[in-house]
Amino acid sequence: MNITNAKGFTLLELVITATVLLILASASVPLVKNGIRRDKELELSRNLREIRLAIDEYRKAAEFQKIKTPATENNLCPSTLEELVEGVAATGSASKKIKFLRRIPVDPFTGKAEWGLRSTSDDPKSRSWGGGHIYDVYSLAPGTGLNGIPYTDW
């Protein structure tokens, strides 16, 4: 019995097709992983910028005496990140507070709203905070970015 109009796929055709699809899918996995990592790095960069801008705005407000700072302090930087969220009393008003952040951003790599702090009295390369006024923040995430720079140096 000779069938000339056979329809369907042979087992060999199915195996070859599945193999080609598997190769294409496995080639896309590193691209997806790098895409996810790139997104986290972009979020880290944004969050660091947001905190740094808030510190700068605090400093400007203190410099132009828009907020009340202790008279004994010569430093114009905040003493904690929470101070940026909770707000600082505005000059000329007993009840008005100026807030610089809505919340402390989360580090996308650690999943926590915890950051390394640099004090005005610390060495710029130091990784231990001396408890002074904060002038900069950095990520506590281990590892290196796609650009080859450790996350702690961003």
Distance of CA 116 to the CA centre of its chain: 12
pLDDT at res. 33: 83
pLDDT at res. 145: 96
Count Cα atoms within 13 angstroms, Cβ side, for 140: 13
Q: In angstroms, rounded to a whole number, what is the distance separating the alpha carbons of residues 82 and 95?
A: 19
Q: In angstroms, rounded to a whole number, what is the distance separating the alpha carbons of residues 104 and 106?
A: 7
Query: pLDDT of 3-57, one tens digit each?
Result: 566 667 788 888 999 999 998 888 888 888 889 999 999 999 999 999 999 999 9
pLDDT at res. 73: 63
Ranking 76-90, 95-109, 116-130 by mean pLDDT, the lowest is: 116-130
- The contacts of residue 77 (CB under 8 Å, 6+ apart) are 55, 58, 59, 62, 120, 133, 134, 135
Angstrom CA distances, 121 to 129, 130, 133, 136, stand at 9, 7, 8, 12
Query: pLDDT of 108-139, one tens digit each?
Result: 999 999 999 998 787 777 777 777 889 899 99
Is the entire prediction scored with pTM above 0.85?
Answer: no
